[in-house]
Amino acid sequence: MIVYFSATGNCKYIATKIAEELNDEAVFICDFTNEQKNRINQKQEYIGIVTPTYVYGLPNIIADFISNTKINADAYKFIIAAYGTSPGLTWYYADKFLKKSSNAVFDAKFSIFTNDNYTPWFDVSDKEKVEKNNQRTEQELAVILSKIKNRDTGNFMKKKFPRIGAPICRIAYNFICKTKHLSADEKCIGCGICKNKCPVHAIELNDGKPVWIKDKCEMCLGCLHRCPQFSIQFGNGNATRKHGQYQNSNVKI
């Protein structure tokens, strides 16, 4: 079983490709059922987690899943962290949380370069560059798939951080994921896509406009990138308007 979290399609695409190669299933973490939760602790050949990297660590939704899900220790367990600059400390948190739930560690830890959708910092407006990055993702995915099929073990993450930086990463993520950073401008048409797609149900519509009803969310920016009017922005919107929207063209999200 391959479990993934994805806001703009990168991790969904990676998880789907791996599942196809292994004749397995890819499950979106928000659709994970109790039956699947029971099955992940039963005999399986592979158990994989595909996650984005948020502020050089794991998204809260992935951290909570690993911390609270008992995983069969006999399976070949791997995690893949998609990143734009560095997978940071995803390797450290992954093992820390799996020890808590299952008294085990991941047999293999991989990183894979993808287009980074955190557009307060990263520019995805250059379509030629986006496509070049996608080609790099494909090349790295082929190598990872070969290692998974061989059941290679070890920490294969590139550009990872030493564990000493762990507290700083969590503090920074907890600040960035505050929903006060998000807003919708006058182009909003009240379609409700942001509300319906939010993985943590942090958005409601009030008089046809999105209102963030929770203090924090995952800050996956799925709302920003899926908005058909490009109405939702981060901060004052100067950077995100300039840097554009992104969705992986290989999958539907």
Residue found under tokens 């100067």:
238
Q: What pLDDT is attached to residue 8?
A: 97
Which amino acid type is present at position 218? Answer: E
Choose which CATH entry (3.90.105.20, 3.60.20.10, 3.40.50.300, 3.40.50.360) describes domain 2-171: 3.40.50.360
Tokens of 160: 């990872």
Averaged over 92-113, what is the pLDDT? 96
Tokens of 164: 């000493």
**What span, in angstroms and rounded, lies between the C-alpha atoms of 240 and 152?**
40
> Helix-strand-coil percent breakdown of the chain, rounded to 5?
40, 20, 40
CATH class of 177-243: alpha beta
Averaged over 218-242, what is the pLDDT? 97
Q: Domain ranges in the chain?
A: 2-171, 177-243
pLDDT digits (tens, 9 = 90+) for 106-133: 999 999 999 999 999 999 999 999 999 9
Altogether, the residues listed in the chain come to a count of 253
pLDDT digits (tens, 9 = 90+) for 37-73: 778 877 778 999 999 999 999 999 999 999 999 988 8
CB 168 within 8 A of CB 149: no
CB 114 within 8 A of CB 51: no
Indicate the pLDDT class of residue 231, thresholds 50, 70 and 90: very high
